[in-house]
Amino acid sequence: MSSWLDYTINGLIVGNVYALVAVGLALIFGVSRLINFAQGSIYLVGAYIGWVAVVQLHTPLPLTIIVVAVAAAIVGLIIERFGLRPLQNSVRIAPLLATIGISFVLDQLVMLTFSPNPRALPSQLPDVRFQVGGGTIGPLDLLIAGVGLTSAFLLFVFLRYSKLGWAVRAASQDRDAAMQMGVDVNRVNQAVFGIAAALGGVSGMLVGMYYNQIDTAMSLQATLKGVVAEVVGGAGNVPGAVIGSLLLGLVESYGVAVFGTSYRNLFAFLLLVVVLVLRPNGLFASARQAPPEPLTGTFIAPSRPVRIPHWALAVAAAGFALLPLFPVSFYVLQTLINAWLLGMLALSLTLVAGTMGQVSLGHAALLAIGAYTSALLSLTLNVPVGLAVIGGGLMSAALGTLLISPSFRLRGHYVSIATLAIGEIVSLVILNWESVTRGPIGISGIPPLSLFGYDLISPTSIYWFSFAVMVVLALLQGRLLGSHLGRSFRAIRDDDIAARAYGLSLNRYKSLAFIFGGFAAGVSGGIAAHLYSYINHETFNTQQSILALTVVILGGLGNVVGAMLGAVALVGLPEVFRVAAEYRILIYGIVLLLLVRFRPQGLLGTM
Amino acid sequence: MTNPAPEPLLALSNVNTFYGQAQVHFDLSITVARGHIVCLLGGNASGKSTTMKIILGLVKPRSGEVSFDGASLIGLTTPQIVRRGIASVPEARRLFADMSVRENILMGAFVRNDREAIAQDLDKMLTLFPKLGQRLAQRAGSLSGGEQQMVAMARALMSRPRMIVMDEPTMGLSPLYVDRVLELIRTINREGVSVFMVEQNASLALEIAHEAYVLQTGKIVLSGPARALKDDPRIRDAYLGGSEAA
In this structure, what are the phi and psi dihedrals at residue B89, rounded to the nearest 5 degrees?
A: -115, 100
Can you give the pLDDT at residue A1?
44
Same domain, A113 and A36: yes
Contact A180 B98 (CB under 8 A): no
Q: Are A178 and A170 in contact (CB under 8 A)?
A: yes
Question: Collapsing DSSP states into helix, strand and coil, what is residue A165?
Answer: helix
**Is residue A338 in some structural domain?**
yes
Can you give the pLDDT at residue B243?
40
Q: What is the mean pLDDT of chain A?
A: 88
- pLDDT of residue A274 exceeding 80, the answer is yes
Q: Of A506, A525, A541, which residue constitutes the final position of a domain?
A: A541
Same domain, A343 and A194: no
**Is residue A585 in some structural domain?**
no
Positive or negative, the Cα torsion across A430, A431, A433, A438? positive
State how far the Cα of B227 lies from the Cα of B239, in Å rounded to an integer. 18
Q: What is the mean pLDDT of chain B?
A: 88
pLDDT tens profile A511-526: 999 999 999 999 999 9
**Is residue A557 in some structural domain?**
no
- pLDDT of residue A488 exceeding 60, the answer is yes
pLDDT tens profile B201-222: 888 888 899 999 998 888 998 8
Query: How many beta-carbon pairs under 8 angstroms link A with B?
Result: 69
Can you give the pLDDT at residue A377?
94
Mean pLDDT computed over B126-143 = 91
Q: Are B72 and B149 in contact (CB under 8 A)?
A: no
Please tell me which of the candidates A167, A178, A182 has its beta carbon nearest to residue B83: A182
Is residue A177 within 8 angstroms of chain B, CB to CB?
Answer: yes
Can you give the pLDDT at residue A588?
86
**Is residue A424 in some structural domain?**
yes
Taking an 8 Å Cβ-Cβ cutoff, which residues of chain B contact chain A? Answer: 56, 58, 77-79, 82-83, 87-88, 90, 94-99, 103, 106-108, 110-111, 141, 155, 159
pLDDT tens profile A86-139: 988 787 778 888 999 999 999 999 999 998 888 988 887 877 788 777 777 888
Is residue A182 within 8 angstroms of chain B, CB to CB?
Answer: yes
pLDDT tens profile A340-362: 999 999 999 999 988 888 888 89
DSSP A119: B
Q: Model ipTM? A: 0.89
**Is residue A565 in some structural domain?**
no
Contact A169 B82 (CB under 8 A): no
Can you give the pLDDT at residue A285?
65
State how far the Cα of A166 lies from the Cα of A168, in Å rounded to an integer. 5
Confidence of residue A278 (pLDDT cuts 50, 70, 90): confident
Mean pLDDT computed over A445-460 = 84
- Chain A residues inside the 8 Å CB shell of B78: 179-180, 182
Q: Of A234, A258, A278, which residue constitutes the final position of a domain?
A: A278
Q: Are A257 and A205 in contact (CB under 8 A)?
A: no
Is residue A181 within 8 angstroms of chain B, CB to CB?
Answer: yes
Can you give the pLDDT at residue A286?
53
Domains defined along chain B, listed by start:
8-85+161-245 (3.40.50.300), 97-160 (no CATH)
Can you give the pLDDT at residue B103?
94
**Percent with pLDDT over 90 in chain B:** 57
Question: Collapsing DSSP states into helix, strand and coil, what is residue B173?
Answer: coil
CA A203 vs. chain centroid, Å, equals 20
Close Cβ partners of A423 (under 8 Å, ≥ 6 residues apart): A361, A362, A363, A364, A365, A542, A545
**Is residue A479 in some structural domain?**
yes
The DSSP H or E segment spanning B218 is none
- pLDDT of residue A290 exceeding 70, the answer is no
**Is residue A575 in some structural domain?**
no
Q: Are A132 and A4 in contact (CB under 8 A)?
A: no
Close Cβ partners of A198 (under 8 Å, ≥ 6 residues apart): A69, A70, A72, A73, A76
Question: Collapsing DSSP states into helix, strand and coil, what is residue A137?
Answer: strand
Confidence of residue B6 (pLDDT cuts 50, 70, 90): low
Can you give the pLDDT at residue A262?
79
pLDDT tens profile B13-55: 999 999 888 899 999 999 999 999 999 998 877 888 899 999 9
Same domain, A79 and A209: yes
Confidence of residue B146 (pLDDT cuts 50, 70, 90): confident
Strand partners, B197: B39, B166
Can you give the pLDDT at residue A270?
86
Confidence of residue A301 (pLDDT cuts 50, 70, 90): low
Same domain, A118 and A240: yes
Mean pLDDT computed over B71-77 = 92
Q: Are A72 and A20 in contact (CB under 8 A)?
A: no
- Distances, alpha carbon A180 to alpha carbons A372, B83, B87, B149, in Å: 56, 10, 7, 16
